[in-house]
């Protein structure tokens, strides 16, 4: 076995954070943060044994240490009879149950006692006996187990934006298993000791209770565990046993138990799980390194495209994430996201000096023949400052464009070369609000000139401006209707389609962001009976998949049902590198319903975005789910490839 590394400690902490029922509670999550701070400090100093020991000692009930060799001696089992001839089985040394021979001997003795009617099982420890073994050997009292619950996360519920993608966390409860005893059973236990799972299962059916000698209550047994090297993460949880029967002053516990098994007392109330949300509580940010590690583990575990590669990258990224410098930690997280090729992946920082913070001037750049070129003026005032469509950008704030582009590319993951160019062009002129951009422009055939372009946040106050001016819908020529989904939302679409219903062809412009109207439009192209147009694949993180041998993904078909009327003409969908996210999904749906894609390759970045808190005001975003073609075709990092070139309709303004 290879020696443990700091990344192994981080993975163990991640399993505890996502799987342990105790970490769903804010108090448990706070304990996890304290443990992570101390354990990672030790691990990165080279004290791996101390780090792992700290995890076990700080998180009792969440992580179990390596199992110790059990005694080879058979357990002592004494049988006898109590009041009214009630059989009593005493098991004073449960530490010896760990061997197969010991477990078989105890099981035989208990089965014999229970076969003749009501019985008492004495689990009180002999002097000096170890505590807690009753809860760790469920097979001793048969296969009966009570209901057990687990945390299951279907994608990561966003921490910094309105919920998207139906991501969330929930409790998954396994039904109880195993048979019931023929009659009532009472267990004698010491305060604070764990009960066997069978005791809880029988109690839930009204067939068992427990009698505690002295003050205090027993505790629930250890739930199902998942191996993590030599350690085990407790991933399952049984309902707390609560109080059983109390012994009054001077009462004999055996007599109290015997009265109950004879039916002289009512059954105890049913067991209930505490009502706690199953998700991971928000970070406290007491230690910024812990918050950054938490974000790193979430990206590595929940990213639906490159999880294996990201997990391997923990070996080099964990030491950088644990750096005391905010800038180094953010750079480390950006380096991880850069490996995803995910056009949604970003780390947003409120620092105005950050290269991705701030606002651009009111111009839109595109890469033309490798050179950033002004493609659109977003406000009429820009022309007065000396900028015009077609100008090439050569320098920005005294920095050559090539240098600035090279600095931006590692910060902007992209799935395709066209998307990489687009993202760099969109961020080239970004800077502090209110500070003019000093830009050297060159009009083809003319000398370069320097202009000052204001960075005015008011231009973007209502959101990202549309890609085009002119009519958002209408007739390109007789019989050919035009629909720009960058500017037409679900509320406007019915009237637009009604006006263009008699067309021979629709040209649907998806070069930009679709405003949630793609599904509605696809319904008017769908064949009778509908069509499976895509698949949503969400990462599932939970112990039940591993315990049951199931998969770690949830696949949800995206089906387009036909609308009341179907368009009978041809549909051409215009796409390019600006077609991503909602637009790319709309193109996928329309293509599945018979439309033809034309233009150039799409961005290859689709899937609802989720966000994770890294630090106060700092958020990491990434695609929270994978979207594929209906047959599982890959789109992420590849894009949709059109079957034809861009439509040509002369100099019609809406299509520029």
Q: What does the H/E/C string look like for 382-417?
A: HHHCCCCCCCEEEEECCEEHHHHHHHHHHHCCCCCH
pLDDT in tens, 554-607: 788 899 999 999 999 999 999 999 999 999 999 999 999 999 999 999 999 988
- Predicted local distance difference test score (pLDDT) of residue 656: 41
- The percentage of the chain sitting over the pLDDT mark of 90, rounded to a whole number, equals 53
Among the residues of 59-186, which ranges form H helices? 100-114
- Write the CA distances from 554 to 144, 539, 542, integer angstroms: 30, 6, 12
pLDDT of 99 strictly over 70: no
Helices 288-302 + 326-338 axis angle, to 10: 0
Which CATH architecture group holds 363-460? Roll (2.30)
Would you place residue 52 in the very low, low, confident or very high pLDDT band (cuts 50, 70, 90)? very high
SS3 314: helix
Would you place residue 653 in the very low, low, confident or very high pLDDT band (cuts 50, 70, 90)? very low
- Predicted local distance difference test score (pLDDT) of residue 40: 97
In whole numbers, what is the pLDDT of the chain averaged over residues? 86
Q: What pTM, to 2 d.p., does this model score? A: 0.86
CA atoms within 13 A on the CB side of 413: 25
Q: Are the beta carbons of 525 and 501 closer than 8 angstroms? A: no
Domain regions of the chain by residue span? 1-65, 78-154+172-261, 363-460
CA distance 29 to 394: 51
């Amino acid at each position: 076995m290879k020696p443990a590394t700091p990344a192994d400690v981080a993975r163990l902490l991640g399993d505890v954070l996502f799987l342990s029922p105790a970490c769903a509670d804010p108090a448990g999550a706070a304990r996890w943060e304290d443990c992570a701070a101390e354990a990672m400090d030790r691990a990165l100093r080279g004290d791996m044994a101390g780090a792992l020991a700290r995890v076990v000692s700080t998180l009792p009930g969440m992580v179990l240490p390596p199992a110790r060799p059990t005694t080879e001696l058979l357990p002592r089992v004494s049988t006898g009879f109590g009041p009214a001839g009630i059989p009593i089985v005493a098991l004073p040394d449960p530490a010896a149950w760990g061997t197969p021979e010991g477990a078989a001997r105890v099981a035989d003795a208990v089965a014999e006692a229970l076969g003749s009617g009501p019985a008492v099982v004495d689990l009180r420890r002999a002097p000096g006996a170890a505590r807690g073994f009753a809860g760790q050997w469920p097979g001793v009292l048969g296969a009966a187990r009570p209901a057990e619950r687990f945390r299951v996360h279907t994608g990561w519920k966003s921490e910094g934006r309105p919920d998207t993608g139906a991501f969330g966390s929930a409790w998954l409860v396994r039904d109880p298993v195993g048979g019931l005893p023929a009659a009532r059973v009472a267990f004698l236990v010491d305060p604070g000791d764990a009960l066997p799972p069978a005791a809880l299962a029988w109690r839930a059916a009204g067939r068992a209770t427990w009698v505690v000698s002295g003050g205090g209550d027993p505790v629930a047994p250890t739930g199902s565990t998942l191996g993590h090297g030599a350690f085990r993460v407790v991933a399952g949880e049984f309902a707390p046993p609560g109080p059983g029967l109390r012994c009054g002053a001077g009462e004999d516990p055996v007599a109290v138990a015997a009265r109950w098994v004879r039916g002289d007392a009512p059954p105890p109330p049913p067991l209930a799980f505490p009502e706690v949300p199953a998700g991971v509580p928000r970070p406290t940010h007491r230690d910024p390194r812990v918050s950054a590690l938490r974000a790193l583990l979430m990206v590595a575990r929940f990213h639906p495209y490159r999880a294996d590669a990201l997990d391997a990258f923990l070996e080099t990224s964990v030491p950088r994430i644990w750096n005391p410098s905010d800038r180094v930690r953010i750079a480390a997280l950006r380096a991880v996201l850069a490996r995803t090729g995910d056009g949604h992946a970003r780390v947003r920082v409120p620092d105005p000096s950050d290269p991705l913070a701030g606002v651009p001037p009111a111009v839109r750049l595109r890469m033309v023949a490798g050179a950033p070129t002004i493609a659109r003026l977003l406000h009429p005032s820009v022309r007065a400052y000396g900028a015009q469509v077609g100008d090439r950008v050569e320098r920005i704030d005294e920095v050559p464009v090539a240098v600035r582009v090279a600095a931006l590319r590692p910060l902007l993951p992209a799935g395709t070369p066209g998307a990489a160019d687009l993202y760099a062009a969109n961020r080239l002129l970004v800077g502090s609000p209110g500070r003019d951009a000093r830009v050297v422009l060159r009009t083809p055939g003319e000398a370069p000139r320097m202009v000052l372009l204001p960075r005015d946040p008011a231009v973007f106050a209502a959101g990202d401006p549309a890609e085009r001016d002119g009519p958002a819908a209408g007739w390109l020529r007789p019989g050919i209707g035009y629909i720009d989904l960058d500017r037409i939302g679900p509320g406007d679409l019915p009237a637009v389609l009604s006006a263009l219903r008699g067309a021979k062809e629709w040209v649907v412009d998806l070069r930009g962001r679709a405003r949630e109207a793609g599904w509605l439009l696809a319904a008017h192209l769908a064949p009778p009976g509908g069509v499976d147009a895509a698949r949503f694949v969400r990462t599932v993180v939970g112990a039940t998949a591993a315990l049951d041998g199931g998969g770690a993904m949830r696949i949800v078909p995206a089906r387009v049902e036909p609308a009341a009327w179907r368009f009978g003409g041809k549909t051409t969908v215009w796409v390019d590198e600006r077609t991503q996210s909602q637009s790319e999904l709309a193109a996928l749906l329309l293509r599945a319903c018979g439309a033809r894609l034309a233009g150039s390759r799409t961005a290859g970045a689709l899937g609802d975005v989720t966000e994770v808190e890294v630090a106060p005001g700092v958020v990491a975003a990434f695609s929270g789910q994978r979207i594929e073609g209906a047959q599982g075709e890959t789109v992420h990092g590849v894009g949709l490839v059109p079957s034809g070139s861009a439509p040509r309709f002369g100099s019609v303004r809406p299509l520029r």
